[in-house]
Amino acid sequence: MVSVPAWPPKKAARSSAGAGPRAASASRSSEPPGRGESIASFTFGAHRRLRSKAEFERVYRHGWRVYQKLFQATACGNELGCARLGLSIAAKAVGNAVSRNRIRRQIREVFRHRQDLPGVDIVVSARPQARAAANIELRSDLEQLLTTVRERCNRSPHSS
């Protein structure tokens, strides 16, 4: 008598090395997504972020500071023609990972929708009061902070 398993055998895991090319799932359009387009065009791409230690150090060394109730920013002009964002959210000031990540998400969201910023690198730091603030307060304070940065850049376009 031949025994047959009561369940189907597991399929072998598909290796990514042997897999064919994957279809692109993200739309890289600069326009907002319409019918049938992906929401990925609203992502926060690498070209809009400060990524290396040298970039952060350049902003801290040559930049100027702007303060609000919940945040402070250090900004420095760049030659790229678009604004870039760096985040420096300290656990000592804001607390646990949940608080830090909530604040980071709010900062990115406000920055992503500000198309009026000139070519400037901005490093945003949270102050201790930001931990207990509601999301609407965080966004309002960030809007004021970015407006101040934009106005300062418009007054002196070569401020570094």
Q: Which residues pair with 120 in a beta bridge?
A: 77
Query: Is there a domain that residue 27 lies in?
Result: no
Nearest CA-CA partner of 159 in 111, 123, 119: 119
pTM score, two decimals? 0.70
Give the chain's domain count.
1
Nearest CA-CA partner of 73 in 4, 151, 156: 151
Query: Is there a domain that residue 78 lies in?
Result: yes
Query: Is there a domain that residue 15 lies in?
Result: no
Query: Is there a domain that residue 104 lies in?
Result: yes
d(CA 153, CA 143): 15
Q: Which residues pair with 39 in a beta bridge?
A: none
Domain with residue 67: its CATH number is 3.30.230.10
| Pure H helices in 36-156 | 53-62, 91-94, 97-112, 135-155
* pLDDT reported for residue 29: 44
Structural domain range at position 123 = 46-155
Query: Is there a domain that residue 35 lies in?
Result: no
Query: Is there a domain that residue 65 lies in?
Result: yes
Phi and psi, residue 51, nearest 5°: -120, -30
Query: Is there a domain that residue 25 lies in?
Result: no
Query: Is there a domain that residue 139 lies in?
Result: yes
Per-residue pLDDT of the chain (160 residues; tens, 9 = 90+): 666 666 666 665 555 555 555 544 444 444 444 555 455 555 667 778 898 999 999 999 999 999 999 999 999 988 888 899 999 999 999 999 999 999 999 999 999 888 888 889 999 999 999 999 999 999 999 999 999 999 988 876 554 4
d(CA 103, CA 106): 5
